[in-house]
Structure 1
Amino acid sequence: MFLGKMRALLANLGFVLQISGIFIVIPIILSFINNELVATVAFFITATIFLVIGFAFNVFCERRELSYKSSCALFVLVFVFLSLIGSIPYMYVNFSNGDIIQNISDSIFEAASGFTTTGFSVIPNISALPESIIFYRAMTQFIGGIGIVLVLLAFFYPEAKLKDFAKSLGVSTDQKIKKTFFLILLVYCFYTSIFVIMSITLGYRDIVKAISFVFSAISTGGFTPINDITSVATTFPMNIVLVISMVLGASNFFIIAGLFKRRFKQFFISEFSVFFIMAIIAISVTSIFFGLSAQESIFHIVSGMTNSGFSYVSVAEFTDGLKFFLVFLMLVGGASFSTAGGFKIFRFVLMLKSVRKVIYESITGREYRIKLFGREYSNANMIQAVVIVLLFIGVVFFSAFIVSSYGFPLVDSLFETTSGTATTGLSTGIINPSLKVELKWLFVCLMILGRVEILVVFMMFSRTKKPSIQNEENMSASIENDNEKKQITKQFKCPKCGTIVTISGQSGENLTVTCSSCGTKGILII
């Protein structure tokens, strides 16, 4: 049973690795054109390993339908394998000039940061890298952001097999999933092409760097192709391109795709409206109370809220108050099913509504239904949102204490672990080439954990036993006997005033219920 599930899991993983190997052809061509021999060899090795391992998984394993738990495991393993194999070009170039342990650790850190769209970097001099490596760094964000998952789902999965995988991504299954994924992939590529063309047409002449910036922004990654982005982030056209790309990357791709179907109302009652209001408030607060200029506030608030991580001012010089404010914004993050990190605006608003629900029901004794963005949510949805938020915050604070034990200020440690887990990439300076190797590996784990979401990892390692047929029959008979002997308690909600009345009776009994508040009568079947 276990081997069968593992074979199905590896077969699907093999497809992802083969697709990744095909993507590597692009930097191979670029390195060949630029006569960058070392980079060309590195990319050939990387592409070969991706394709060989992917082919082996497909040949020796059987590709079958995955359960929800297996889909969660696949999602986690995709980013683990991408980070490990995708680190080879960095190892080959050996940008750190250190020993083999440091070289491997730095390379995996850089690859994980790219594929998880975090944007942390331990490369001391980005401008000294071959141009093809710079392009590859940006492309890893595009692949990890949403591209590789959507290619897998849109082209290689039949409709009937997509529901559990979609569920592991937090996607609703009440629509034509395959068609929707394909549309989103087209929208993702369309926006990327538009912004690249816009950047070049409006005056940014370096094509590779323009593509790299757009890849980083639309995937909310934050890798930059140059050491200092001040001139880019403060001048037209790239400042406008970066801000708009970051916002679109952090928007729900289902909602964005809906605009092409003229679903404008759905767009305005979505998470985007909450994001817009929060952004206006945050920009005003940082401009008035923390001394940033309007331009600095707009750029860095958008960068933090979308978990992009672009910055042209020193975050280390921010006051502790501003750092805490940015920690909150990074924790919340962008919209669900976007390239942004954090625990998402949707869960933040749902949690606030859950507090209101508890207060209302405690005072009135009436049921309060949670409606959000045009949908109604159950108590199970509410509990799941609260659990994910608490797990996220718990991981961030626990990791912050570990980092601070190495002598870093607690506020800076909290900022850094939040940035890593929320896949943001803003840094107070703790992340640097000389950081201890064990802390680099801690941040690698945080970046992957934040990218796939913490609950997905717990689902991957959870153990659930399916009861045998005999146990199910015995359980069913036991329940029937208990129903005959025991009293069952049910609640009756008054259709007129909403008052909840609790009634007890035996199974199958019809009882007449009278509302204690307004006297309305009704029939309740136990």
Structure 2
Amino acid sequence: MVTEPLDRSVLSYMHHQLIILDEDIDAATAVKLMHDKKAETIIVKNKKDEYVGIITDSDILDKIVMKGEDSDQVFIKSIMSSPLITISARANVRQALELMRLNVIKRIPVTDNIHILGIVTQEGLAHVIRTSVLEKTFRPYRAVIREHYKPIWGNLGFILQFAGLLFIGPAILATSLGEMKSAIGMFLCITSMFVTGFVLNSYGEKTPMNLRQASVLMVSSFVLLSFFGSIPYMYVNPFYTDIDPFSLVVKSFFESASGFTTTGLSQLLHPEDLPKSFDFYRSFTQWIGGLSFIYLIMAFFYPERKLAHMKSMISGGGLKLKQLLLTITVIFTIYTVVLIILLYIFGYENAIYNLSLIFSAITGGGFVPTSTSLNLQDNMQMLILMTGMIISALPFAFHFAIFSKEMHTTKMRPEIYTYFAIIAVSIIVFYFLIASTDFSSKPMFAMFHVISASTNTGFQLVEMSVLSDQGKILLIIIMLIGGTAFSMAGGIKVGRILQMVQKITKKRFVADASTRSISGVSSRYNNHQDLNRHEPKSEKIKEEKTFREALLIIVLFIVVSFATAIVLWYVEQKGFLNSLFESVSALTTTGITTGITAPNMSNISQIFLIFNMIAGRFEIIAIIYFFLEISKRKH
């Protein structure tokens, strides 16, 4: 197919704004006919029906108007340009322009040697060439957009629209409770998601994505969800009345991001002062973000193999997507209902508060409906919440295996046993570290906070600044380790620790597939068919790449934690260890605070913690993969 504009046929660019008149018609009549037909050119023919001349506006202006002639007395044959130069319909643009240049004319009729088919003008052809040059210049960019970004826009629009549907529930609850300010804020959020989703869908394409595109989609969707989720906060303004607009936006975005990433850090010291529906909305964002509902809907539109990259990023390792969907929608709903009923049985009768509290526990969120929700004296409440927290830190595949005969827990046992061993040892050590405090007589205090930190939930009974430095350091280490792989817990993950130990000691732990990558980034190495095809060399390469990936993640967690801590230390002036604690808490999506996260926290500190929360939600790996892929393309 010819794409060079000069080689295209003149038929592509001719127009039909012309009339054909006899040579004996007077100029006045000809001008009237031109006006009636909206023609730009007159082709003149003689009595033998031969085309003998051409008349344009300039001919009429120069030969009649400027000379003061009476147009009724002037025949068009006396003002026409003759002879008539025509071009064949088989000619191209290059030939037409050359003919115009040689004859010093600006338009040429196109003929099939019998009839006049149309006319091409110098101005029209020049415009086509300019447009073609611009198209040629921007064609590579349009191809890049079509190939790399349209799938992201299309899927992102779909996700936002589905998220908008999910938030209709809290909005209806607010309306039914008569809390109209909350309801309006939520409906504004829903409307914004729908409109943005519609716009993105109109420009994008809902097609399968590669790993890099999935990385961009996941990160950008969490940023946009956090932004739109901040609209109810901005509308309700639960902070203080004289807040400036920029601070309101930053604080609202901080609270929203903390919910969607299941971090649980909050500047709202007395959530009981909020409308009940708004309290529920905050916990609901944790439920949506923690269980990744918004991404699982895509399972209905793509085949399993097309969603491999995305599944690994939403903690779905080891499960087929339908199994993951079943685990999240059914099994975790069962857990939630059972734990809510247990709270009700043991005296907690406020259904909305119970739902909010269990949402936070079972998603590793950490938001509490009231500042007095947690009661250290109530052992049953503590046990119920600790059960929910531990559920959130165990692999999705483990939960599926409990309820299904299709899968066994054997391969997951080394990591789970190691995780529980870490918790047990940490409880004992932490108990002795708080021996000199007022809580030394309460073993439940040590147990609750260690489990809260290790599951990256973020429930806390006291401000962590009262702990000794040794106690803070222990909790920092526990938060960094985090829960098990492919769970809702954050942190480095116990699975990676086992990978490192296995590589260093050169010992293999049972048949637990622990050499397999536990990140979306390396899901290309998770294909067992490819692995078996190239054994044993492929196994070695895969182990080495997995080890390097685990090492990279550990280093990145430490570097980002210290970098953010330095900023907090300088800005907030609360001590470096407290700043490091807060930074790690945000990066591991835990939510335990030393008091830095407070209503008077600076906007700069909030922005850094927001970055930590979103980066930590994907173990920094999605963002890193994006830049690694760009670097690879450059080389």
Contact in 2 for aligned 1:158/1:178 (Cα 8 Å) = no
Contact in 1 for aligned 2:411/2:513 (Cα 8 Å) = no
In the alignment, the residues of structure 2 paired with residue 449 and residue 150 of structure 1 have an alpha-carbon distance, to the nearest angstrom, of: 18
The alpha-carbon deviation at position 53 of structure 1 amounts to 1.2
In the alignment, the residues of structure 1 paired with residue 444 and residue 408 of structure 2 have an alpha-carbon distance, to the nearest angstrom, of: 29
- Are 2:451 and 1:302 equivalent residues in the alignment? yes
Counterpart residue identity of residue 284, structure 1: I
- What secondary structure sits across from 1:220 in the alignment? coil
The percentage of counterpart residues that share the same residue type is 32
Contact in 2 for aligned 1:370/1:376 (Cα 8 Å) = no
- Are 2:534 and 1:391 equivalent residues in the alignment? no
- Are 2:313 and 1:164 equivalent residues in the alignment? no
Counterpart residue identity of residue 552, structure 2: V
Q: 1:202 aligns with which of 338, 346, 355?
A: 346
- Are 2:626 and 1:460 equivalent residues in the alignment? yes
Q: 1:382 aligns with which of 539, 547, 567?
A: 547
Contact in 1 for aligned 2:589/2:613 (Cα 8 Å) = yes
User: Residues 449 and 464 of structure 1: is their aligned pair in 2 closer, same or farther, counting only changes over 3 Å?
Assistant: closer
Aligned residue in 2 for 1:511:
none
Q: 2:606 aligns with which of 433, 440, 454?
A: 440
Contact in 2 for aligned 1:150/1:181 (Cα 8 Å) = no
Alignment RMSD = 2.2
Counterpart residue identity of residue 204, structure 2: C
Counterpart residue identity of residue 416, structure 1: E
Aligned residue in 1 for 2:471:
322
In the alignment, the residues of structure 2 paired with residue 330 and residue 60 of structure 1 have an alpha-carbon distance, to the nearest angstrom, of: 41
Aligned residue in 2 for 1:365:
none
The alpha-carbon deviation at position 197 of structure 1 amounts to 2.4
Counterpart residue identity of residue 287, structure 2: F
In the alignment, the residues of structure 2 paired with residue 183 and residue 111 of structure 1 have an alpha-carbon distance, to the nearest angstrom, of: 26
Structure 1 residues 486-497: aligned runs within 5 Å: none
The alpha-carbon deviation at position 199 of structure 1 amounts to 1.9
In the alignment, the residues of structure 2 paired with residue 412 and residue 299 of structure 1 have an alpha-carbon distance, to the nearest angstrom, of: 20
In the alignment, the residues of structure 2 paired with residue 466 and residue 447 of structure 1 have an alpha-carbon distance, to the nearest angstrom, of: 27
- Are 2:331 and 1:187 equivalent residues in the alignment? yes
Q: 2:487 aligns with which of 327, 338, 353?
A: 338
Aligned residue in 1 for 2:365:
221
- What secondary structure sits across from 1:269 in the alignment? helix
- Which runs of 5 or more structure 1 residues have no equivalent in the other structure? 358-367, 472-526
Aligned residue in 2 for 1:500:
none
The alpha-carbon deviation at position 462 of structure 1 amounts to 3.2
In the alignment, the residues of structure 2 paired with residue 337 and residue 167 of structure 1 have an alpha-carbon distance, to the nearest angstrom, of: 8
The alpha-carbon deviation at position 153 of structure 1 amounts to 4.2
Q: 1:254 aligns with which of 397, 408, 417?
A: 397
In the alignment, the residues of structure 1 paired with residue 633 and residue 193 of structure 2 have an alpha-carbon distance, to the nearest angstrom, of: 40
- Larger RCO (alpha carbons 8 Å, 6+ apart): 1
User: Residues 467 and 336 of structure 1: is their aligned pair in 2 closer, same or farther, counting only changes over 3 Å?
Assistant: closer
Structure 1 residues 16-415: aligned runs within 5 Å: 16-97=159-240, 98-149=243-294, 151-169=296-314, 171-172=316-317, 176-231=320-375, 233-262=376-405, 263=407, 265-266=409-410, 269-291=413-435, 292=440, 293-357=442-506, 373-377=512-516, 378-406=543-571, 407-415=573-581
Contact in 2 for aligned 1:71/1:165 (Cα 8 Å) = yes
- What secondary structure sits across from 1:430 in the alignment? coil
The alpha-carbon deviation at position 61 of structure 1 amounts to 1.4
Residues 25-50 of structure 1, C-alpha deviation per residue, up to 9 Å, x if partnerless? 11111111111111111111111111
In the alignment, the residues of structure 2 paired with residue 52 and residue 3 of structure 1 have an alpha-carbon distance, to the nearest angstrom, of: 22
In the alignment, the residues of structure 2 paired with residue 102 and residue 464 of structure 1 have an alpha-carbon distance, to the nearest angstrom, of: 34
Contact in 1 for aligned 2:208/2:302 (Cα 8 Å) = no
- What secondary structure sits across from 1:245 in the alignment? helix
Aligned residue in 1 for 2:145:
3
The alpha-carbon deviation at position 108 of structure 1 amounts to 0.4
- Choose 129-138 or 53-62, whichever is displaced more: 53-62
- Which runs of 5 or more structure 2 residues have no equivalent in the other structure? 1-142, 517-542
The alpha-carbon deviation at position 60 of structure 1 amounts to 2.7
Q: 1:431 aligns with which of 597, 608, 611?
A: 597
The alpha-carbon deviation at position 370 of structure 1 amounts to 7.0
User: Residues 177 and 108 of structure 1: is their aligned pair in 2 closer, same or farther, counting only changes over 3 Å?
Assistant: same
Residues 158-191 of structure 1, C-alpha deviation per residue, up to 9 Å, x if partnerless? 2231122224446547x63334433343222221
Contact in 1 for aligned 2:182/2:278 (Cα 8 Å) = yes
In the alignment, the residues of structure 2 paired with residue 133 and residue 335 of structure 1 have an alpha-carbon distance, to the nearest angstrom, of: 32
User: Residues 38 and 289 of structure 1: is their aligned pair in 2 closer, same or farther, counting only changes over 3 Å?
Assistant: closer
Counterpart residue identity of residue 434, structure 2: F
- What secondary structure sits across from 2:292 in the alignment? helix
Larger Cα Rg: Structure 1 or Structure 2?
A: 2
- Choose 429-438 or 177-186, whichever is displaced more: 177-186
User: Residues 448 and 104 of structure 1: is their aligned pair in 2 closer, same or farther, counting only changes over 3 Å?
Assistant: same
Residues 185-211 of structure 1, C-alpha deviation per residue, up to 9 Å, x if partnerless? 322222122212222233210000000
Counterpart residue identity of residue 280, structure 2: F
Contact in 1 for aligned 2:339/2:358 (Cα 8 Å) = yes
Give TM-score scaled by structure 1 length.
0.82
The alpha-carbon deviation at position 270 of structure 1 amounts to 4.3
- Choose 258-267 or 285-294, whichever is displaced more: 258-267
User: Residues 55 and 38 of structure 1: is their aligned pair in 2 closer, same or farther, counting only changes over 3 Å?
Assistant: same
